[in-house]
Structure 1
């Protein structure tokens, strides 16, 4: 069998994992990963919309939602890391998969950086989705503690080996793919614009810093 990590003679039949990434720009590289996951979720949903006569959407919805939620997670972490850098903080981002915590931290840093509520316009639709999602994946333990199982698209069982909400629910759990594509195209655009804007600001600041240091050294 031919190696999977190998070339095709037709350049358009190759996927280059390091063409969009940069060796020493870790925040940019995370942006590339986030873009890929979000784009793949929407593209898969669009594929199902074009032809779902075989009901493939019922199977593909799991990787669609996984890619969507992971893309959102990485975008939020990229934005947090960017904002921390721009605010001259040493922190990167919260090391968890908790989208509620990540969106809250991202909003806090956004306001701290811009000091205007209009800077949060990009987050409104996303927060609406996260709130809706958490009503589905929330369970309350005997001690009253709330637990959110974001792995619902990866496994049919929870961490406690209980069936996920879409299995135990008597009524159908349905996602309108047309609405999904329309809604998340907007969310994707907002996240990507915000992330790209902050990346550009950080690049600009780093370039100015490098120029200043070079000029300082030349004057010694």
Structure 2
């Protein structure tokens, strides 16, 4: 009988465990729409960070080992699932953050479609005149380019989860192979972290500090961030990047 889930003491070292709950202690309140938006902001942000980090971990391992045994042909699907689901979480965190910060009780349809979520977020940024947080929408260019490439092959948002949908094969089941440039994908996610996630993390900081966004504060916040450089002589560079800039809170 398995004992994967534990509740109590054990003789194993503390680093042998992953805790499922301590980042998500705040729960929904049936009587408070705004409080629920605050909870959604933090939880979607944390979960999005985790999914994006897992994509980067898989890609880095594959690239460092020169795609040994062509393992990328299998792992590309969880890599893409984690990327698209992480993006979905980040977009939902952004929407929840802005509506909470401006006491906006409008209920948005939380779809899985990145294009619809991006459109809703853009409307909010324009409504509250805070386009500067996402570089006057230039940060969305990365997401738009990903969505455009998927649309080019007429694929559903869940292509990385299901090989077919309602008896229709996804694009990779056809006669023509579609290849993914692993290096380009890795750099794409890195750039996403230092653009979209950076903007979102500022919104999370505003919630945590109980203040509304301010352009001068945002500029100072961004100046404090340094880009990750892949340095073969520094074995800890990537680990520090994941901990500080991806799964980190700001």
Asked if 1:150 corresponds to 2:157, the answer is: yes
Q: Which residue does 2:198 correspond to in 1? A: 193
Q: Deviations over 1:46-66 (max 9, x none)?
A: 111122221110000011101
What's the CA shift for 1:83?
Answer: 1.1
CA distance in structure 2 between the partners assigned to 1:93 and 1:81 by the alignment: 9
Q: CA RMSD in A?
A: 2.1
TM-score w.r.t. length of structure 1: 0.80
Q: 1:115 to 1:199 in 2, by over 3 A?
A: closer
Given that 1:79 and 1:198 are in contact with CA atoms closer than 8 Å, whether structure 2 keeps it comes out as yes
TM-score w.r.t. length of structure 2: 0.71
Q: Which runs of 5+ in 2 are unaligned?
A: 28-38, 213-250
What's the CA shift for 1:11?
Answer: 1.6
SS in 1 for 2:193: helix
Q: Deviations over 1:108-158 (max 9, x none)?
A: 2122223546442322222221222222235xxxxxxxxxx2121111112
1:89 aligned residue (95, 104, 108): 104
1:56 aligned residue (52, 71, 76): 71
Larger displacement relative to structure 2 (174-183 or 10-19): 10-19
1:38 aligned residue (52, 55, 62): 52
Aligned length, in residue pairs: 195
Q: Which residue does 1:111 correspond to in 2? A: 126
Q: Which has the larger radius of gyration?
A: 1
| Runs (4+) off by over 4 Å | none
Q: Which residue does 1:27 correspond to in 2? A: 41
Q: Which residue does 1:4 correspond to in 2? A: 4
Q: Which runs of 5+ in 1 are unaligned?
A: 139-148, 208-220
Larger displacement relative to structure 2 (115-124 or 55-64): 115-124
- Which has a greater percent of helix? 1
